[in-house]
Amino acid sequence: MTPTGNNILEEIQTPRLNLRVPKTSDALENYLAVKESLSDLQRFPSAYPWVMEEISPSVSESFCARSQLEFAEKSRFVFHMIERPTSRLIGVISLHHPDWTARKFEVGFWCRTTAQKKGYMTEALTAITEYAFAHLNANKIEVVTSSLNIASIRVCEKSGFKLESSFEEGSDSEPKRLAHIFARHAGCQ
C-alpha cells in the first residue's frame, strides 16, 4: 500500500549531511559533481548506465525536475547529499523500484570523488534506510552492487546490510560480472 499523508519527509538531516529532494536550481552543482566523478562511475556501467550517455547541465536539470516529479508520484525517492556546513553537493542516494505490496525498495547511490572515504555514504545509507522503515513502512531494503565495487560493499556492511545472494550481470556487449544483493530487514540491526 502506497503511503499517504504528510509523513513522507523531503529532507533528512544527519550529523554531517542534509539529504533533500533535488531542486532544479541544483542542476549545475549536480552536473559538476557528476563530471568530477565520471571516471569512477564509468567503471560500473551496469550500476550507472546514465554515465555512458550525454552529461551536461541541461541533462542534470532534467534529472532534478524528474526527481521532483517521481518523489511526488511516490515512484522513486531521490535525495541530493549536501555536506554541512559547506552546502556542497557530494552525491545522490535514492530509494527506487518500490514494491508497495511487499514493502520493499532498492537503494542506489554514488558519492563525489573528492568526498569519498570519509564515511558520508555510510551515514547517508543508514539514514535513508531508517527513513524507509519509519516513513515508508518498508519491510526490506536492498542494495545491488558489483562484486568489484569494494567501496560499495564496505558501505553496505558498515550500514548493517547482509549479503543475501549473488548473480551474474552484464549485457551481450560486455563481460559478465558477479553482482551481490545486500539487504536489511525492518526490526533487524
Phi, psi of 23, deg, nearest 5: -115, 150
With a CB cutoff of 8 Å and minimum separation 6, the contacts of 155 are: 109, 121, 122, 125
Per residue in 92-147, pLDDT (tens digit) is 999 999 999 999 999 999 999 999 999 999 999 999 999 999 999 999 999 999 88
HSE-CB for 107 with a 13 A CA cutoff: 32
Q: What CATH number does the domain located at 12-185 have?
A: 3.40.630.30
Angle at 125 between CA 82 and CA 46, to 5 degrees: 95
Whole-angstrom CA distances from 105 to 72, 77, 142 are: 17, 10, 6
Per-residue pLDDT of 126-137, as tens digits, reads 999 999 999 999
Query: Of all residues in the chain, what percent carry a pLDDT higher than 70?
Result: 92
Give residue-wise pLDDT tens across range 47-66. Answer: 777 777 888 999 999 999 99
> What is the C-alpha to C-alpha distance for residues 125 and 154, in angstroms, rounded to an integer?
12
For the stretch 148-178, pLDDT in tens is 889 999 999 999 999 998 888 766 666 677 8
Structural domain spans, the chain: 12-185
**Nearest partner of 189 among 160, 152, 167, 158, judged by Cα:** 160
Residues 60-84: tens digit of each pLDDT: 999 999 999 999 999 999 999 999 9
98 φ, ψ (degrees, to nearest 5): -65, 135
Residue 85: pLDDT over 90: no
Please, what sign has the CA dihedral across residues 45, 149, 38, 61? positive
